[in-house]
Amino acid sequence: MKRAATAVSALLIAAVFLAVIVGVARRYLFGAPLVWIDELTTVLFIWAIFWTAAFVVGNREHVSFDLLYGVLPEGPRRIVSLVAAAAVGLVLLAALPKIGGYIAFLWRERTPALQWRLDYVYVCFALFIAAAGVRFLVQAGQLLKRHWREYL
């Protein structure tokens, strides 16, 4: 599953790169800019960021502020991690219906050049929120296991 998600991320980034190259070439080499290429690049980049953050980048690889967390002994660190992971996971999943409702509302709007529905463009955000919420709850569950030290 992780390999497939990584492959999708790589394809999205490659598509962004290709779109940028095509856009630059059309604008500066041929003097005929493509109106829609910037929009395509933006949508691909949005999808690449949220897809990769949701399905490829692990919790430990995300930016964190752990100045106080780092000085705690192992036991309290486990408790802080468990409470934080459970709270964040529950909050993200609790927000999902409202986020989904707003994204569904966006079907009325379209992108300027390609005329893509905005609900299709931004559904990746709901995927990100759902995946992140589940990931945090899984992390909280792992901290309840006997070998919890592996998950700190």
* 97 and 37 together in one domain: no
The pLDDT of residue 58 is 84
Residues 101 and 132 in one domain: yes
Give 111's pLDDT tier (boundaries 50, 70, 90). Answer: very high
Predicted structure pTM score: 0.87
Provide the number of structural domains found in the chain.
2
Asked whether residue 49 falls in the same domain as residue 68, the answer is no
Q: Which one is predicted more confidently, 60 or 115?
A: 115
Q: CA separation (Å) from 92 to 25, 98, 102, 112?
A: 42, 10, 15, 31
Residue 130 has pLDDT above 90, yes or no: yes
What does the pLDDT average to over 96-100? 98
Q: What angle do CA 74, 150, 140 make, to 5 degrees?
A: 80
Question: What domain range includes position 113?
Answer: 64-152
Query: Helix or strand or coil: residue 117?
Result: strand
* Same domain flag for 50 and 96: no
- 141 and 77 share a domain? yes
pLDDT at residue 50 tops 80: yes
Residues 44 and 3 in one domain: yes
Q: Are 52 and 111 in the same domain?
A: no
Same domain as 68, residue 46: no
Span 114-131, average pLDDT: 97
